[in-house]
Amino acid sequence: MSEILCVVGARPNFMKMAPILDALHAYPELHPFLVHTGQHYDEDMSRIFFTELGLPAPDRDLEVGSDTHARQTARIMMAFEPLVQERAPKMVVVVGDVNSTLACSLVAAKLLVPVAHVEAGLRSRDRTMPEEINRLVTDQVSDLLFATSADAVDNLLAEGVAREKIHLVGNPMIDTLRRHLPAARARGAVERFGLTVRSYALVTLHRPSNVDRVDSLRRVFDALCALSEQIPIVFPVHPRTRERMDRAGIRKTPGIHVMDPLGYLDFLGLMDQARFVVTDSGGIQEETTALGIPCLTLRPNTERPVTITEGTNRLLGEDPSAIVPAAKPLIEGKFPKPQSPKLWDGNAGTRIARALARHLKVD
């Protein structure tokens, strides 16, 4: 029996890990041991995501909680190291680009345990983003690198990663979306929130550049208020953003339906039926591409350029005043014509499990 430690720490990780755990059932010789670092800020929301995605309860919860980047990363490493020594796994699988990804890959590499990185090779070229540092370091210590798109493979090769370590497998987050889309539609979130199909814009914002400074946040809300005069806005608010809104004295505005964070299925249902999405999230750029929903990204760069070249995404930069002009043609019904990126077919988890089995010689 070959044990694999599968690490999650925050909500985006759950969507990426779920199809991999499912696919590993085809290999009885491989035993996945699910580790939740507890990086996520909200236990209740974590529980909802585990339930809705059909994830098993974690075999171990490290319960590290929120902190600064340095302290959180250190606490994860301190908690994960004895677990690796205790379990003696044949592989550690990390996903995405959060602090848990970096911390657990470093621990494994120093203990000479092979590391597999799911979503390897994404690059924004912006080292002011903590996630970019996490991606770069994790890829350098990984033994198996699972890329979601061809540009990610090119990035890894350019950085000197050996070609035999790299596997183009597609996007496991899209596996999860395809599997759960019928259930999301059946929940009727659009009707429950008093909306009609394609009649609203969905907004999510949490990046420090958009929400941490009072002046930036006020400019974002000024732009959203102007947009709400043309189309209703649904805004599930990230706790980080909510705290900044309270600090800045920003209150609810007519036309902007501010609400608490949603579970995966309700959010997916709203995204699937929106006219367009305004976001600064990386994962939502991918999900809107898979759904064919126009996406306006309030960032100067993206680590997911395939969502622009083949998908529905458009970068607006960091100036919120760009939102209304960019939304105008979408409100008028002029939509981009996307195509699905290669291997975003719902089978990434199967390819990843197969590659793990081959690497561990149990296929």
pLDDT attached to residue 324: 98
User: What pLDDT band is residue 336 in, cutting at 50, 70 and 90?
Assistant: confident
Q: Is the distance from CB of 68 to CB of 113 less than 8 angstroms?
A: no
pLDDT tops 90 at residue 166? yes
Q: Which of 25, 31, 206, 359 is catalytic?
A: 206
Per-domain boundaries in the chain: 2-171+344-359, 179-331
pLDDT attached to residue 240: 77
User: What pLDDT band is residue 44 in, cutting at 50, 70 and 90?
Assistant: low
Sheet containing 295-297: give its strands across. 256-259, 233-236, 201-204, 276-279, 295-297, 313-315
User: Is 25 one of the catalytic residues?
Assistant: no
pLDDT digits (tens, 9 = 90+) for 224-280: 999 999 999 999 998 878 888 888 888 778 899 999 999 999 999 999 999 999 999
In angstroms, rounded to a whole number, what is the distance separating the alpha carbons of residues 245 and 339?
37
Name the average pLDDT for the chain. 94
Does the pTM surpass 0.85? The reply is: yes
**Which is more confident, 308 or 335?**
308
Mean pLDDT value of segment 85-102: 98
pLDDT digits (tens, 9 = 90+) for 205-231: 988 888 888 888 999 999 999 999 999
User: What pLDDT band is residue 310 in, cutting at 50, 70 and 90?
Assistant: very high
The number of beta carbons lying within 10 Å of the beta carbon of residue 226 is 15
Question: Could you tell me which CATH class the domain 2-171+344-359 is placed in?
Answer: alpha beta
CATH fold for the domain made of 179-331: Rossmann fold (3.40.50)
The number of beta carbons lying within 10 Å of the beta carbon of residue 163 is 8
Please check whether the two domains, 2-171+344-359 and 179-331, share a CATH topology.
yes
pLDDT tops 90 at residue 339? no
Closest by alpha carbon to 215, among 324, 327, 325, 319?
A: 319
- Alpha helices, H only, 25-98: 43-53, 69-87
